[in-house]
A and B are shown apart, each in its own frame.
Chain A
Amino acid sequence: MIKLKKYLNASVLMLTILVTGCSDNKAYETAICALADISGTYAKEKESMVNIIKAGIVPTLVPGDNLVLITIDSNSFNEDNIKGKLKLDYRPSEANKQKIQFAKKLDDFANNSSSAKYTDISGAMMLCSGHLKSTQAGTQLMFIFSDMKEELKPGIKRSFNNDEFENIDIAAMNVIKLNEDSSNPQVFRSRIKKWKKRVLKHSAKSWNATLDPTEIANYIDDHR
C-alpha cells in the first residue's frame, strides 16, 4: 500500500511538471508587419520593397511565424489596407507552399499601380501594432518601407497611446531621400530623429533607421 502511494505521488508530480511545463508556442513565435508606402513620393519603390520582403523577410520565417503586409496611403487605419496575411503552418512542407503563395501575392501587389495623394504613416503603424499585439507573439517586428515624410489628409487625427508600440521593434527600411533632404541633410536627419523620439516615447522596444536590406535576416534572428 505504501509502495502504491509512493508511485501515485511520483506520477502526480511528473504529471504536474509536464502540465506546467507545457507552454503555448506563441511566446516563441515571431510576428512581422511590413508597412509599404504607396503614396506619390514613394510609389516607384514598390518593386524594390516587394523584392526586399520576398528575399529578406519571407525566407527567414520559420513554421509558426506571422507576416502581414499593410499599405500606407491617405487613410491607413483601415482593414482594407491589409494586403496580405501569412501564418506559417508547423509542417515545413506546407510552410514552403505558403511562402510561395505569399510571394505571388506580393508580386500581384507590386504589379498593382495604385498610389495615394497623402501619406498616413501613423495610421498604418497603429493598425500594425494592433495586429501584432493580437498575435501575442514573443517577438514583434515592424518594418516601415517609406521615406518617413508624413502628410495627413485634412480631418485625419493620429495620436499614439503611451503603450502603442510596447514590445515592438521598429525599423525604417529603404528610406529614400527626397529633394529637400538632398539639399539639406539636416532636414532628413531631424525627420528621422523625430520619428525615433516619437516611437520610443510610446514604448517601442527599439528603433533602427539604418538597417541595410541585406542585414534583415540577421536583424530578425537577433531579435527572436
Chain B
Amino acid sequence: MSSLYIWPQMPFLSITVLVIASMIFLYLARTPMHQALESLNDGIAGGLERTAEWIKAVVIKMREKNKKVLLESNIAASEDKIAQEFKRVEASYTKHLADYPALHLKLDECITSIDADYKECGQVVPEAPGWNDAVESIASIKGTASGDRVIEKMLKELHKSAVDGEKMALSEMQKISTKRHKILSSLAPVWKKIQKTMVEVNKRVELVLETSGKIENYMTEYDKIRNGGDDSIDMLSSKATKLFIFSIIVITVASFGAFVNFQLIALPMSELVPAGTRVLGMHVSDISALVIVTLEIVLGIFLMEALAVTNIFPQIASLTLGKRRILLYAAILGLFFLASVEAALAVLREHIATTNAATTQALAGDVATSSDAGGSNITVIGQATLGFILPWILAMVAVPLEMLIESSQHVLSKLLILIVLLVGYLVGIIGHILSTIMKTIIHIYDAYIIIPTQIENLIKRKA
C-alpha cells in the first residue's frame, strides 16, 4: 500500500490526491465506462437470459413432442385392445351361440307341439239332442181323451229318449273331458322344457352381452384419448408413471432373484468351465453362470410372446397359431432343460461346499465329523428345488420388462424435461443476478464520481 503513496511521508495527503485524481479520471471516462459496463451486462447477463428463454422454448417443444408420443402410443394401444376385444367377442359369439339354431329348433318343436295339443283341447263338446222344439210342438197339440193318452205316451217316450240321450251326452262329455285333461297334463313337461331352453338361451345371450359390454368402455376411452384433452393427457401420464414404478419394483425384486440364482450356480460352473481367463475382470465361469441366468430370462420372454401375454416382437404376434405353438413348446422345453441343469448345479454346489468345509477342517487338524446326513439332505433338496424353481419365476420377468420399456420413454422424457427446465431456471436466475450486479457496479461508479457530477450539474443549472 505504501508503494502507492505519492508522498510516502504524507500518506493522508497522498491518498486524498489519489482519490481526487481517480474521481476526475473516472468522471471524464464515465461515458465510455458506462458503455463498457452496459455492454458487459448485455453480453453476459443478456446472453444468459436469452439462453434461459431458449431452454424454455426447447422445454415447450419437448413437452409437445412428449404429449404427441404419449397420445400416439396410447391410441395405438387402445386400437390394439379394441381389435383384440372384437376378436374375443367373435370367439365368444362362436362359442356361446354356435348351437343357438339347435336351441331355436327345439323351441319351435315344443311350441308346435303345444299348439297342436291346445287345438286338440279346444274341440267342441257334443250337445245333447235338441228335443225341446219337438216337445213344445207336441205339447201344443189340442188333444182329446184318447189323444191325451197318445201324447202322454209320446211324451213318456220322448222323456225316456231325452234321459237316454242326456246320459249318452254326459258319458261322451266325460270321455272328452278325460281326454282333454290328459292332453293338458302332458303339456307340463313341454312347458318345463321350453322354460329350460329359454333359460339356456338367456344365459348364452348374457355371456355374449357381457363380453361385448367391455367394448363400449374401450370405445369411450378411445374417444377420450383421440380428443387429446388435458384431462386425458394427465390420466395417461399418471398411468404410465404408475406402470413405470410398479415395473421397477417388480424388476428390482426379480434382479435379487437373478442374483440369488447366479450365486447358486457360479461356484459349480467353475468345475464345468475352465476359469483360467477373465473377460472384463470376470471369471469365464462367472460369465457362463450369468449367461445361463440371462438365457432363462430370454426364454421367458419368448414363452410370454408365444402365449400372447406380451407383445414385444411384432413378428411373433403375426405368426400363425401352429407356429406359435411350436415356439411355446420350444420355450417350455428350453426352460425345463435349464431348470434341470440348475438343479444339478445346485446339488454340485452343495457337494463342493461340503468338500471345502471338510478340507478346511482337515487342514486345521480337526477330524471331520460325519454331520447329520438328514440336515445335509435337506440342504441339498432345498438347493436343488430352488435351482429348479427360480428359472420359471425369472421367466415371468418378461411382463414387467415390457411394461417398463413401454412406460420408461414417457417417464424418462418427463424427467429430462424437468432437468432441462431446472437448468433453464438456474441460468435465468444467474443471468438476473449478474445483471443486478452489473447495474449495482454502475451505480457505485456513479456514486464514486458524485462530486464532479454534482459540480457539473450546478454549472449547467447556472448556465
Contact = CB atoms under 8 A, between A and B. Distances in A.
A22 B279 contact: yes
A58 B277 contact: no
A28 interface: yes
B79 to A, nearest CB: 30
Contact of B275 (A18, A22, A64): A64
A185 to B, nearest CB: 33
A64 B276 CA distance: 8
A51 B355 CA distance: 20
Contact of B363 (A23, A64, A91, A99): A99
A22 B283 CA distance: 10
B359 A23 contact: no
B364 A23 contact: no
Interface string B269-291: 01100111111110001000000
Nearest to A23: B278
Interface in B281-306: 281, 285
B364 A92 contact: no
Contacts of B267: 92
A40 interface: no
Interface string A163-179: 00000000000000000
B355 A96 contact: yes
A155 interface: no
B217 interface: no
A176 B219 CA distance: 90
Contacts of B285: 90
Nearest to A90: B275
Interface string A51-63: 1001100110001
Given A54-B364, A90-B270, A92-B352, A59 B278 contact: no
Given A90-B270, A93-B271, A25 B277 contact: yes
B365 to A, nearest CB: 7
Given A54-B365, A96-B355, A23 B281 contact: yes
Contacts of A215: none
Interface string A18-53: 100111110010000000000000000000000100
A61 to B, nearest CB: 10
B352 A103 contact: no
A13 interface: no
B277 A93 contact: no
A64 B352 CA distance: 16
Contact of A92 (B271, B274, B276): B271
Contact of A25 (B271, B278, B356): B278
A59 B359 contact: yes
Interface string A88-106: 0011110010011001000
Q: Is the interface of A mostly helix, strand, loop or mixed?
A: helix
Nearest to A94: B271
Contacts of A58: 363
Contact of A100 (B276, B280, B362, B364): B362
A103 B270 contact: no
A14 B181 CA distance: 94
Q: For chain B, which range describes its interface: under 10, 10 to 19, 20 to 34, or 35 or more residues?
A: 20 to 34
Contacts of B359: 59, 96, 99-100
B322 to A, nearest CB: 30
A93 B352 contact: yes
Given A55-B365, A92-B356, A96-B359, A24 B277 contact: yes
B280 A21 contact: yes
Contacts of B355: 92-93, 96
B276 A91 contact: no
B252 interface: no
A103 B277 contact: no
Given A59-B359, A99-B359, A28 B271 contact: no
A103 B362 contact: yes
Interface string B346-366: 000000100110011011110
Interface centre among A59, A63, A90, A92 (most CB of B within 10 A): A92
Contact of A90 (B274, B356, B363): B274
Given A23-B281, A90-B276, A96-B359, A55 B364 contact: yes
Contacts of B363: 54-55, 58-59, 99-100, 103
Nearest to A96: B359
Contacts of B279: 18, 21-23
B194 to A, nearest CB: 69
A21 B287 CA distance: 13
Contact of B271 (A21, A54, A55, A91): A91
A28 B355 CA distance: 24
Nearest to A51: B365
Interface in B353-406: 355-356, 359-360, 362-365
Contacts of A103: 362-363
Given A22-B279, A24-B277, A25-B278, A92 B270 contact: yes
A21 B280 CA distance: 4
Contacts of B360: 59
23 contacts: A18-B279, A22-B279, A23-B280, A23-B281, A24-B278, A28-B278, A54-B363, A59-B360, A59-B364, A64-B275, A90-B270, A90-B274, A90-B276, A90-B285, A91-B271, A92-B270, A92-B352, A92-B356, A96-B355, A96-B359, A99-B359, A103-B362, A103-B363
Given A18-B279, A96-B359, 11 more contacts: A21-B279, A22-B279, A23-B277, A23-B279, A23-B280, A24-B278, A63-B270, A90-B274, A90-B285, A92-B267, A93-B271
The 7 closest A-B pairs by CB, nearest first: A21-B280, A90-B275, A96-B359, A59-B360, A55-B364, A54-B363, A92-B352
